[in-house]
Amino acid sequence: MSTLLLKNATLLITMDEKRRRIEQGGLLVRDNFIEMVGPSRELPQEADRVIDASGMVVLPGLVNTHHHLYQTLTRALPAVQDVELFDWLVTLYPIWAELTAEAIYVSAQIGLAELMLSGCTTANDHLYIYPNDVTLDAEIRAAQELGIRFHPCRGSMSLGKSKGGLPPDRVVQTEEEIMADCQRVVDTYHDPSPYSMCRIVIAPCSPFSVTEELMRQSAVWARQQGLTLHTHVAETLDEEEFCLRKVGLRPVEYMQELGWVGEDVWYAHAIYLNEEEIDLLAETGTGVAHCPASNMRLGSGIAPIREMLDRDVKVGLAVDGSASNDSSHMLAEARMAMLLQRVQKGAGALSAQEALEMATLGGAAVLGRDDIGSLSPGKAADFIAVNLDRLEYAGAGHDPLGALLFCRPVNVDLSVINGRVVVEKGHIAGLDLERAIARQNEISQEMLKRAAST
């Protein structure tokens, strides 16, 4: 048993049921969970390790609900800087066909490091392309080494071009291969217990890259195993047209028809929803991963987040893959979410508090977790701290929470995940970042060269 005491935080934002904000706040951690939260003077004064958070704002670790970490290898690619989703995908598939297990491992180190430094303590990743020797294992290894809580998706594509899908045939797999590998990774890695550091998600990619049969089969099987389900839905009008043409249904109707609604399901994007569809998500407890930067970058549209929140739809925040963002900065994304709703609906559309709730409590709910997302006794010891005494916040001392969202997004100074200090003084413990960056750049160039020569 070990204890960790954090004390004297200028402001501790709990996100607990009363949304308490505690001045001179602190918390006591036992092993991997929070035992006490309150004003520092009311907490024990000693522990195995004591962190003085004077001058800092402390908040629950942020939760990222959708990503494609491998896409950090294809950031800012000139050929797809100015095109929409379908053209973007068709150009990128042949490059991603050059992925290897090493590429998955290194790109996961890069993307997860970026997430952690920006305050993320629980990350989802959606890996849906498995060429060459690629397996989900490589990114799970990177997450384990970095110490981040991880919900990797065993994604999939089974509908190649010859069957009317969007991806080339050589990057899709058969239903048998996919289901067998889902079973393998669940048997090897899935941990359903409280404070779990790894839960596998089953995630066929999208209506235009997966067969109807795989969608149905995945949902039935995942529910038998007690797993959550994730996919892309209603991201673009092209997708809506594809679904109407192929099955005569709108994307959300199609999902409902396939058994893809419920407490155990969440969609990435959910931009093109009508009133009835928003009600359906609320009634069924189906969640949404909101990806504002990616939606702007690809010109996809503005998700009706205000309407969803007003009807109690579960909404989490997500940076999305790095070929459409192209950064994995959670605080920057929360800021984007706050600003983007305002573009359409005015300055009162989404507050800083609401954007931060989406990035914490909302994400926890979407991932199906009641043990993360707030700082209260019994929750996992996942929290972050940002030094307020810095250029970006000079003149914003009256509202540390507001400063986090309204001022330029910064990296965190401290991050604790599962009771372990993983970021200290702005650096990730035990990661040779320089080496990872150098290798990432080499792999990225090699992939582009190989793709150009095939």
Distance CA 264, CA 266 (A): 7
Instruction: Tell the smallest beta-carbon distance from residue 266 to Zn ion (Å).
Output: 12
Distance CA 134, CA 359 (A): 30
Task: Return the number of the residue (115 or 268) whose C-beta is nearest Zn ion.
Answer: 268
How wide is the angle at C-alpha 371 spanned by C-alphas 365 and 376, nearest 5°? 110
Total residues binding Zn ion (CB under 5 A): 1
Instruction: Tell the smallest beta-carbon distance from residue 17 to Zn ion (Å).
Output: 32
Write out the two tokens for 18. 């009363």
Task: Return the number of the residue (254 or 267) whose C-beta is nearest Zn ion.
Answer: 267
Query: Residue 383 forms beta bridges with which residues?
Result: 60, 416
Instruction: Tell the smallest beta-carbon distance from residue 239 to Zn ion (Å).
Output: 12
Instruction: Tell the smallest beta-carbon distance from residue 192 to Zn ion (Å).
Output: 25
Distance CA 32, CA 142 (A): 20
Instruction: Tell the smallest beta-carbon distance from residue 186 to Zn ion (Å).
Output: 22
Q: Which stretch binds Zn ion (CB under 5 A): 164-172, 263-271, 340-348, 443-451?
A: 263-271
3-state secondary structure of 121: strand
How wide is the angle at C-alpha 340 spanned by C-alphas 339 and 345, nearest 5°? 95
Task: Return the number of the residue (128 or 383) whose C-beta is nearest Zn ion.
Answer: 128
Task: Return the number of the residue (109 or 206) whose C-beta is nearest Zn ion.
Answer: 206
Q: Is the dihedral of CA 283, 288, 292, 297 positive or negative?
A: negative
Instruction: Tell the smallest beta-carbon distance from residue 217 to Zn ion (Å).
Output: 22
Task: Give the contact letters, 179-198, x = binds to Zn ion (CB under 5 A), - = no.
Answer: --------------------
- Main-chain dihedrals φ then ψ at residue 169, nearest 5 degrees: -55, -30
- Please report, as residue ranges, which positions from 266 to 325 form the binding site for Zn ion (by CB under 5 A): 268
Q: Could you tell me the CA-to-CA distances from 317 to 64, 310, 340, 414 in Å, in that order?
A: 6, 16, 13, 21
- Please report, as residue ranges, which positions from 123 to 162 form the binding site for Zn ion (by CB under 5 A): none
Write out the two tokens for 25. 């706040």
- Please report, as residue ranges, which positions from 331 to 370 form the binding site for Zn ion (by CB under 5 A): none
Task: Return the number of the residue (5 or 112) whose C-beta is nearest Zn ion.
Answer: 112
Instruction: Tell the smallest beta-carbon distance from residue 127 to Zn ion (Å).
Output: 11
Q: Which stretch binds Zn ion (CB under 5 A): 105-113, 201-209, 264-272, 444-452?
A: 264-272
Task: Return the number of the residue (106 or 268) whose C-beta is nearest Zn ion.
Answer: 268
Chain Cα centroid distance, residue 45: 36
Q: Could you tell me the CA-to-CA distances from 87 to 52, 56, 91, 263, 295 in Å, in that order?
A: 51, 45, 6, 33, 15
Instruction: Tell the smallest beta-carbon distance from residue 292 to Zn ion (Å).
Output: 13
Q: Where are the beta strands (DSSP E) in 78-207?
A: 120-127, 149-156, 201-204
Q: Which stretch binds Zn ion (CB under 5 A): 39-47, 262-270, 302-310, 357-365?
A: 262-270
Q: Where are the beta strands (DSSP E) in 83-209?
A: 120-127, 149-156, 201-204
Task: Return the number of the residue (69 or 414) whose C-beta is nearest Zn ion.
Answer: 69
Task: Give the contact letters, 234-253, x = binds to Zn ion (CB under 5 A), - = no.
Answer: --------------------
Task: Return the number of the residue (88 or 189) whose C-beta is nearest Zn ion.
Answer: 88
Instruction: Tell the smallest beta-carbon distance from residue 235 to Zn ion (Å).
Output: 8
Task: Return the number of the residue (96 or 383) whose C-beta is nearest Zn ion.
Answer: 96
Q: Which stretch binds Zn ion (CB under 5 A): 116-124, 156-164, 173-181, 265-273?
A: 265-273
Nearest alpha-carbon partner for 307 in 277, 352, 333 = 277
Instruction: Tell the smallest beta-carbon distance from residue 291 to Zn ion (Å).
Output: 7
Task: Return the number of the residue (15 or 166) whose C-beta is nearest Zn ion.
Answer: 166
DSSP type of residue 358: I
Full DSSP string of 208-225? TTS-HHHHHHHHHHHHHH
Q: Which residues of the chain form contacts with Zn ion (CB under 5 A)?
A: 268
